[in-house]
A and B are shown apart, each in its own frame.
Chain A
Amino acid sequence: MSQPQLWEMPLHALHRLLASGAARAEEVCAAFWDRAAEQDPHLHAFLSVRPREEVLAEAAAVDRARAAGTALGPLAGLPVALKDNLSTAGWETTCASRILRGYRPPYDATVVSRLRQAGAIFLGKTNLDEFAMGSSTEHSAFGPTRNPWDLGRVPGGSSGGSAAAVAAGLCPAALGSDTGGSIRQPAALCGVVGLKPTYGRVSRYGLVAFASSLDQIGPFALDVADVATLLGAIAGPDPSDATSARVAVPDYSEALQSDLSGLRIGAPRELFGEGVDEDVRASVAAAIDLLGELGASVGECSLPHVGYSLDVYYVIAPAEASSNLARYDGVRYGPRAAGDDYVSQFAATRGEGFGAEVRRRIMLGTYALSAGYYDAYYDRAQRVRTLIRRDFAEAFERFDALVAPTSPTVAFPLGSRVEDPLAMYASDICSVPANLAGLPALSVPCGLSNGLPVGLQIIGPAFGEMTILRVGAAFEQASDFQGKRPPMAVLGG
C-alpha cells in the first residue's frame, strides 16, 4: 500500500505529522482545500468555503508559532468544517434557508470559539436540511448533498454536508448538530464516526435553535480517537448557556482501549424491530457478537415505551421549532418580502423564506401548542417522554451501554422519500430515543451492505461519553471496516 495522501488521514495522524515537523499546517490545509475544490462540485457538501489564501495564511501563522516554540492547542493547524447552523462572526450563517440568506452573525458560537482556541482552522460551512429539519439534506434551500459512496443516494441528514465532507476527505473533521439523529444517522450513512453528546455536555450558545430541549452539537471524524479529541475541545460548561451542565470534562483519550472486559452491554429489542432492514439487523448483530468477543457481556433488554419515540418527537420538536422560528420576521436580519402592512409583510416574508418542510413543522408545532390541543399533544408527549427516560434509567441499572442500529436502513436514493414526510420521519426511529432522554450516543461504521455503510449505535447513560467512546474504539480496532473509504471512482477522482 502506498503512502496515504494527506486528505486521506485522520486528525491524529495529521497532528503527528505537524508535531514532528514532517508536514506543515499550510500543506495540510492546502491539501484539503484543493481536495474540496476538486470534489465538492460532485457532492455539494459545502455551502461556503473560505478563500484559499485566508485559510493558508492562518495555517502559515500556526506554522510560524510552532517554529517559534509557542505552546499550541490540540487541533493547531488542522482544518475543520462547521455545519451552517453554527454562528460564525462575520461569516454568513444560513441554516440552508432563504430566510437567512446574507445573514452575518456579529458573534461566534461557543463551540466555534473553543475550536479556534484549540487551534483549528475553519475550512467551510456545510450543507444541511433547512434549519436541521430533515434526514437527507434534501431539504436544503441551496440543493441537496450527495452521498460519496453513491452519488445517487442521500448522505442522511440533517448534518449531511458535514458527514459527506469527512467521508470524502474534504476535511478531516466537522461539527454537526443532532436533534433526532442528525449527527449519527448521516455518520452511519456516510461511513464515518459521529457523536451526539449528553444534553448539556456541549454549549448550544450560537447554535441556531431547532428544538431547544433536544438539540446538541457534536463532532464527525474518521475514527473514535478523533471524535474524542474534538469532544474534549468543545465540551464543558458555558456561562452563556443555562442548560450547559456544570460537569467537569474528563480526558476522553483515556477511553481509547481495546479491551471491553467487565463491561455489560444491552441490546434493546425494540430498536431492532419493525422497519429495520434485514441487512442492517444482520450487520449490527455481527457487531454485537464482536463486542462479546472483546470481553463485554452482552444481553438483550427492553425499553417498553421506546416505540412511542417518533410520535413524541414529532410533537415536541415541531412545537419548540414553531416558537424558535418565530423570530424570523425580516426585521433585524434576513431578506424581507414586499407587503403593505406589518402583518402581511411578515407572513409573506416567512411564507417565501421557509421551505415546505420547515413550514410544515411550524404549522404542526403551532397546532400542537394551540388552545384546546396542548394537553392532547404537547403535554401528553412530554409525559410519554418521561416514560421513555425511565425505561433508559432502568436499563442502565443493568447495563453500562446499549447498542442498536443507528439508522434502520442504508442510504436511500435521492428523491425517494422527500415527498413522503412520514417515510422520511421513520429514518429517525432508532436515533430519536437518545435525544428524548438526553443521552450520549455514538455511531461507528460496522460494515457494508451492498457497498453502502451501516452504523452501529452505542448509547450511554448521561455523561457516559467515556464508556461509549471506549466501546466504539475497541469495536473499531477489531472491526474490518477500519480504513474503508468511499470508492474513488464514484468521486471522479
Chain B
Amino acid sequence: MTDFEPVIGLEVHVELRTRSKMFCGCSADFGAPPNTHVCPVCLGLPGALPVVNRQAVVYAMRAALALHGEVAEETRFDRKNYHYPDLPKGYQISQYQHPISTGGHLDVHRPDGSVLPVRIRRLHMEEDTGKSLHEGVPAGQSGVDFNRCGVPLIEIVMEADVHSPEDARLTLQTLRTIILYTGVSDVRMEEGSLRCDANVSLRPAGTTAFGTLVEVKNMNSFRSVQRALEYEVRRQTAALEAGERIARETRHWDERRGITFSSRSKEEADDYRYFPEPDLGALRIERAWAAAVSATLPELPEVRHGRYVAAGLTAYDAGVLVEDPPLGDYFDRVSGVAARTACSWVTVELLGRLNARGESIGDTRVSPEWLADLVRLVEAGTISAKQGKDVLDVMVAEGGAPEAIVRARGLTQISDEGALSGTVREVLAANAAVVSDFRAGKDKAFGFLVGQVMKATRGQANPALVNSLLRKELES
C-alpha cells in the first residue's frame, strides 16, 4: 500500500487593530448595535469612494517586516468581484498583482526541539465583509449587519511547506505569536480576529508532485485546525486507497460532528475578475518609511527565544515565556538571579499561585523586583526554599517586599552552627533507638532525624547545615 504525505498550505486572515475602518472613518470597534458603524463608503452607496487608512498600511508593513517579507516600493489595490449579501459593493477591495509584501518565512519550534521553516508567499491588505445573521429575523430571512464591513485585514499566504496537521497547528500558533508581538492585532481565533483556511492535498510519500487541492474553511480554534486537517487527511487517504479521485472543492469543518463537508457547489467556478481598483492610485512606499516602521518593531519571538536559550533556559521554558509576551516581559525584569531559577519561580511558583487566584501576570501585587529579591534570599540561604514559597504566598495575597515579610514573621533560617548543634544533640539523645537503627544500616532513619531537627526549630533550620551536623555527630 502506498504511503501518502499531506501537503498543507495555510492562508491566514488577521484583523488589524486600527481605530477606524480600512477605507472610511467609521469606527472599527466590536459590539455596536447593527448598522451603526456604517457610512456611504462602507455601505456601498452609489457615488461613495474609498480612501486608504494610513495606519492600516503601517500595520500591514509591521506584520510583513516581522515575517521577513519584502515590502514593495509600489503597491496597488485590486477589486475582487463576487456577489454575496454581506459584500455591499459586489466586490472586495483587495490586492492581487502588487501586494504590499512578498516572501518571508517563519521558524516553527516543535516540542521535540526540531525546527520547521515555513515560507511566506505573500501578504496583502483587504477589507472585511459584513455579517449575515439568522437569529431574531423573520423565518426564511437573514439580517445583514455591515458594522464589520470595511474593517482592515491582512491576508498571509504561506507556501505548502507543512506536512502534518500538528505542524499546521504549530505553524499557526507561531504566526499568532509573531503577530501578537507586532501589536497590529488581537489575533484571537475565537473572536475571528485570526482566521485560517488550509489547502490540503496528498501525494505518495517521497514524490514532489501535487495532488488535488481541497480548501478547508471554518476552523475556529487552534485545536480545530489540527482536528479538521487530521480528518481531511484520513478522508483523502481512504478515498485514494479506494481508488477514488479527489474533487477540487471547498469543505467546511463541522466542529460538533468532527467532520468536513463539501460546501454547496457553486454554479460557476470562482472567477473573481480581479482588476486594478480605479478609485485608488498606486501607493508608493518610500524606503525611508519602511525603514522607520521597521525601526519600531519590538524584539521578535525567535530572537527572544534565542536569547533565553543562550541564557540557559530549556527550549520548552523559552517557548512558554515567548508565547506569552507579558510573562516574558515580567521574566526579563526578574534580574540579578540565574535564568533557570528565575524561570522556575516565575512560571511555576508565581504563575501557579496567580492561576489559582484567577489573577494575571499583568495585575499581580508581586513586582518582578520583589520576586528577584525573594529568589536571592533563598539562593543566599537566608531562608529555605520552603520558607521562600510561604513568603511568596504572602506576597501574592497581600503584597509587600520579601525582606519585610521575612522580618515580620521571624522566618530567618537558622544557619548558625553553634545554635543548631545543641538542638541536634538533644534530638539524638531523645531518639536513641532511631540512632541505633541508623547505625545498623537503616538509611531511612536519617531522614526522620532531620525532620525532628526541623520540627524542633519550627522549620527555620538550614536543611543543608542540619544534614552536615547530623552526619558529623552520628559518625563521631
Contacts and interface: CB of A to CB of B under 8 A. Distances in A.
Are any A and B Cβ atoms less than 8 Å apart in their complex? yes
Interface of A: 85-87, 93, 95, 100, 103, 105-107, 109, 204-209, 211-213, 239-243, 319-320, 322-323, 325-327, 329, 331-333, 342-343, 346, 366, 369-371, 374, 378
A242 B50 contact: yes
A109 B47 contact: yes
A333 B47 CA distance: 13
B146 to A, nearest CB: 8
Contact of B43 (A243, A319, A332): A332
Given A326-B89, A327-B88, A327-B90, A366 B40 contact: no
A61 to B, nearest CB: 27
Contacts of A323: 79, 81, 90-91, 273, 275
Interface of B is mostly: loop
Contacts of B274: 369
Given A85-B47, A212-B279, A326-B89, 10 more contacts: A107-B48, A109-B47, A204-B49, A205-B48, A242-B50, A242-B280, A242-B281, A320-B275, A323-B81, A323-B91
Nearest to A212: B278
Given A87-B47, A105-B47, A329-B83, A213 B281 contact: no
Nearest to A209: B47
Given A320-B278, A369-B273, A105 B46 contact: yes
8 contacts: A87-B46, A100-B46, A205-B48, A212-B278, A242-B279, A323-B91, A332-B88, A369-B274
B144 interface: yes
Contacts of A205: 47-49
Interface of B: 40, 43-52, 79, 81, 83, 85, 88-91, 142, 144, 269, 271, 273-275, 278-281
Contact of B273 (A87, A93, A109, A366): A366
A346 B51 contact: no
A209 to B, nearest CB: 7
Contacts of A85: 47
B275 A319 contact: yes
Contact of A240 (B51, B83, B269, B278): B51
B57 to A, nearest CB: 13
Contact of A208 (B46, B52, B79, B271): B46
B81 A327 contact: no
A208 to B, nearest CB: 4
A320 B79 CA distance: 10
A326 B49 contact: no
The 6 closest A-B pairs by CB, nearest first: A326-B90, A212-B278, A369-B273, A213-B278, A208-B46, A206-B47
A293 to B, nearest CB: 42
Contact of A369 (B48, B81, B85): B81
A109 B40 CA distance: 11
A332 B86 CA distance: 11
Nearest to A334: B46
Contacts of A346: 83
A374 B50 CA distance: 24
Contacts of B81: 322-323, 326, 369
A85 B46 CA distance: 9
A370 B271 contact: yes
B89 to A, nearest CB: 5
Given A242-B49, A242-B280, A105 B40 contact: yes
